[in-house]
Chain A
């Protein structure tokens, strides 16, 4: 029951907002001071949730929360008192101002991670405070700015409960939109970026743009929350938005938990109310917060949310055992791979058609690292519909060539063509559109996402605006997201792991993760897949299974494959044609059996390596 509820999209997106609506009920039971605290708490919940997106999902440390709050509070107040903008409109504008602030911070900031990002955000924080202090004519300087009471629909709200109602309405709307982003494609893409940046880039997720968007969205939301609070403060001054505020708001998602929006909601709510409850020991509150954060990090890194859900799960386990397993269909090799009903790419491939252009042609590709000519004038041709292997000893330049072809490290010179189109300088999105995808030597699945979501990312509609649109579409159960899920289920079924669609990819065995990668690679119905060492690290039996799988995909879907692999036996078994590299050059090409019989290949390989497999 609880599980089904949790998976229900409307519930997931509305429930966090419902908690702030609860504050309205609580507000009826308390006095004016309590209602005052509740309005601040509701804002803290929103700030906590916004930080969960930035800190938990995008894993960006920010010490600029105070500055974003200042932008919202000062921005809205100045609009009201200097330009006479209606309060609610000013609150909305505060969001825009905060968003611009987030953009200005993120554009230089997202190049950095870890401590350098922390410092860049600290710089932003400090500069905003200095500006507020020095631009006295506008901001009132260090002494602060008087904030008029809020107005709505021509009424001035002086009663604490009225203000609470207004704050709750705005905050609930903000929380719903945030939940739509975080629970939808945008949040999943952020998880993908932090789970495996290389893998994310390979499927068209522009990491920088996603992180910038996370900064912009969270800053806008924080600014709105602060704009709502400003009239409650009565006077806003730079000290109220200093670095200490930034540091202590950072504890909201940490203590609450960074796995879902609930972390920020609970963290923000609890940590904002706590100081009010602990007033008798107010001296110690900062130290207490520090200890709480460090203890959370050390002993229960999942935060309050994990503690709660663990408690809930214990309760539920008994009930689940009685209900019996839901999905027991074991993943076996699918009989045949049938073309998907939701196949989106219109072009069908004629395998091995004589008139069709070759799947891949490289012309005189060169790549140099310092003194080492890693790839030296390599020209290869892969016929459409074929399984082409690329082998060579360590340091032969296979990986460099592979990276040049797949667009990860551009070649110094030369030309790369797929199906007659020049892709030498094409970005990943363009490659997916032509029908080219890849897999990775080190498994590059996104461990925290479900298999289904992993595969959906393989569809490649990951441009930042596309991602926002998809998040929205998903929240209203739109047609597009239904189609995406259908395509992903098809791909999982085709590979034979549809039973694990809802399992997080990180919980899969290595072999299944490899299969998941294949599902992700084929979901966009590509015409050409680059496979980087598909059987490295898997056992013999597993390799056999993968071999069958590759051949099936090749024959049933007509997908051309270029496989780089160390395992020669595997290559010989699976490939139609084979190229051998040594010292950056192609030394042999042809049918596998012929190629490995050639003396120059035997010299390159077996002359050096005594033990031939």
Chain B
């Protein structure tokens, strides 16, 4: 029993980071209809920035949580302005290809700049793990696990609130529902897209800060994150922020449970099987956003 609970807790922590990465992916997709395959690269940049701030510059940890979202948000906005804006009229298919190669370009740039296998970043919250007694067994929960789970949830809820209530969120929702209509209502496509990329990039940066201690900073982070975030997003219905959070947690649980009770070599296969099953069985995701009545 204790072991099972520890598997669950471990899975939730991994899932929380997936969820964080997926939220940013969805914000961008919702407002701009672009699936940003370079999102993993942005998460990696966020983690790298955390390394610079915490390890190289030795600044207080909280600064990483404040500065990095802004920084990566700006980077994402620049990508949208310089590369994706000129492609706005291009085939969606071409845009996807462009973001795939953009993502690889980001991780290659990092690899060339930092010729190392992996950079380690210390945990944000230190201290001995907490022990809970359950009959004769011990359940061990680390402070980092709690921090990451709570952090991801908080960020998810904030994202949800922004999207629903803030003016920037309203403009993105309008754009998501009907581009032409939103333009008629006075929203500028360029501005809304830039905002969406900023918010999506900021979330990616934040996901990077949360992921850095448990994943380390390496070029491979980009690919592993984008795959997991995508699976989480598909499970959640690709347009639902709440769905992405649940999707991320489900994915983390499924991976860890199958590794624990089926075979440890099965881990990555499980996420792909999950994606496949959801796409075939419920392409609209397990938690589809109620579609508007736009005809």
> A residues within 8 Å of B by Cβ?
59, 61, 63, 108, 111-116, 118-120, 122-123, 126-127, 130, 134, 243, 247, 250-251, 254, 283-284, 286-287, 289-291, 293-294, 297-298, 301
Indicate if the CB atoms of A290 and B279 lie closer than 8 Å. Answer: no
Indicate if the CB atoms of A123 and B96 lie closer than 8 Å. Answer: no
Indicate if the CB atoms of A286 and B104 lie closer than 8 Å. Answer: yes
Indicate if the CB atoms of B276 and A294 lie closer than 8 Å. Answer: no
Indicate if the CB atoms of A127 and B272 lie closer than 8 Å. Answer: yes
Indicate if the CB atoms of A297 and B94 lie closer than 8 Å. Answer: yes
Indicate if the CB atoms of B265 and A61 lie closer than 8 Å. Answer: no
Of B90, B223, B234, B268, the contact of A119 (CB 8 Å cutoff): B234
Indicate if the CB atoms of A126 and B90 lie closer than 8 Å. Answer: no
Of A118, A127, A298, the contact of B87 (CB 8 Å cutoff): A298
Of B97, B269, B276, the contact of A130 (CB 8 Å cutoff): B269
Q: Which of B105-113, B184-192, B198-206 contacts A (4 or more CB under 8 A)?
A: B105-113
Of B86, B108, B273, the contact of A286 (CB 8 Å cutoff): B108
| Residue B175 interfacial (CB < 8 Å) | no
Indicate if the CB atoms of A123 and B223 lie closer than 8 Å. Answer: no
| Residue B102 interfacial (CB < 8 Å) | yes
Listed by A's residue number, 30 A-B pairs whose Cβ atoms lie within 8 Å are A59-B91, A61-B96, A61-B97, A112-B283, A113-B93, A114-B35, A115-B35, A115-B96, A118-B96, A119-B231, A120-B276, A120-B279, A122-B227, A123-B272, A123-B276, A126-B268, A126-B269, A130-B265, A130-B268, A247-B100, A254-B97, A283-B112, A286-B104, A287-B109, A293-B97, A294-B101, A294-B102, A297-B97, A298-B98, A301-B94
Closest partner residue, chain A, to B34 (CB atom):
A115
Closest partner residue, chain A, to B230 (CB atom):
A119
Closest CB-CB distance, A284 to chain B, in whole Å?
Answer: 7
The contact string, 1 if C-beta is below 8 Å from chain A, for chain B 262-273, is: 000100110011
Closest partner residue, chain B, to A286 (CB atom):
B108
Of A118, A251, A284, the contact of B101 (CB 8 Å cutoff): A251
Indicate if the CB atoms of B112 and A116 lie closer than 8 Å. Answer: no
Known: A119-B279, A294-B83. A287 touches B105 (CB 8 A): yes
Closest partner residue, chain A, to B263 (CB atom):
A134
Q: How far is the CA of A297 from the CA of B35 in the complex (A)?
A: 17
Indicate if the CB atoms of B105 and A294 lie closer than 8 Å. Answer: yes
Indicate if the CB atoms of B108 and A126 lie closer than 8 Å. Answer: no
- Interface of chain B: mostly helix, strand, loop or mixed: helix
| Residue B275 interfacial (CB < 8 Å) | yes
The contact string, 1 if C-beta is below 8 Å from chain A, for chain B 156-199, is: 00000000000000000000000000000000000000000000
Indicate if the CB atoms of A247 and B101 lie closer than 8 Å. Answer: yes
Q: Which residues of B contact A127 (CB under 8 A)?
A: 269, 272
The contact size tier of chain B is 35 or more
Of B94, B268, B273, B283, the contact of A116 (CB 8 Å cutoff): B283
Closest partner residue, chain B, to A116 (CB atom):
B279
Indicate if the CB atoms of B223 and A243 lie closer than 8 Å. Answer: yes
Indicate if the CB atoms of A291 and B96 lie closer than 8 Å. Answer: no
Of A59, A134, A251, A293, the contact of B265 (CB 8 Å cutoff): A134
Closest CB-CB distance, A299 to chain B, in whole Å?
Answer: 9
Q: How far is the CA of A243 from the CA of B112 in the complex (A)?
A: 20
Indicate if the CB atoms of B93 and A293 lie closer than 8 Å. Answer: no
Q: Which residues of A contact B90 (CB under 8 A)?
A: 297, 301
Q: Which residues of B contact A286 (CB under 8 A)?
A: 104, 108
Indicate if the CB atoms of B275 and A119 lie closer than 8 Å. Answer: yes
| Residue B146 interfacial (CB < 8 Å) | no
Closest CB-CB distance, A389 to chain B, in whole Å?
Answer: 26
Q: Which residues of A contact B97 (CB under 8 A)?
A: 61, 250, 254, 293, 297
Q: Which residues of A contact B230 (CB under 8 A)?
A: 115, 119
Q: Which residues of A contact B118 (CB under 8 A)?
A: none
Indicate if the CB atoms of B275 and A123 lie closer than 8 Å. Answer: yes
The contact string, 1 if C-beta is below 8 Å from chain A, for chain B 70-101, is: 00000000000001001100111110111011
Q: Which residues of A contact B109 (CB under 8 A)?
A: 287
Q: Which residues of B contact A247 (CB under 8 A)?
A: 100-101, 104
Nearest first, the 8 A-B pairs at minimum CB distance are A290-B105, A115-B35, A287-B108, A123-B272, A293-B101, A290-B101, A286-B108, A297-B98
Closest CB-CB distance, B16 to chain A, in whole Å?
Answer: 22
| Residue B57 interfacial (CB < 8 Å) | no
| Residue B1 interfacial (CB < 8 Å) | no
Q: Which residues of B contact A122 (CB under 8 A)?
A: 227, 272
Q: How far is the CA of A274 from the CA of B96 in the complex (A)?
A: 25
| Residue B290 interfacial (CB < 8 Å) | no
Closest CB-CB distance, B289 to chain A, in whole Å?
Answer: 16
Closest partner residue, chain B, to A299 (CB atom):
B86
Indicate if the CB atoms of B105 and A291 lie closer than 8 Å. Answer: yes
| Residue B134 interfacial (CB < 8 Å) | no
- Residue among B37, B94, B234 with the highest chain A CB neighbour number at 10 A: B94
Find residues 96-134 in chain B having any chain A CB closer than 8 Å to their own CB. 96-98, 100-102, 104-105, 108-109, 112
Q: How far is the CA of A347 from the CA of B272 in the complex (A)?
A: 55
Closest partner residue, chain B, to A283 (CB atom):
B112
Q: Which residues of B contact A298 (CB under 8 A)?
A: 83, 86-87, 98
Q: How far is the CA of A254 from the CA of B101 in the complex (A)?
A: 11
Q: How far is the CA of A293 from the CA of B102 in the complex (A)?
A: 9
Q: A59-B93, A286-B108 are in contact. List 17 more A-B contacts (CB 8 A).
A: A108-B276, A114-B35, A114-B92, A114-B93, A127-B269, A130-B265, A247-B101, A250-B97, A254-B97, A283-B112, A287-B112, A290-B105, A290-B108, A294-B83, A294-B98, A294-B102, A301-B90
Q: Which residues of B contact A114 (CB under 8 A)?
A: 35, 92-93, 96
- Residue among A119, A284, A287, A301 with the highest chain B CB neighbour number at 10 A: A119
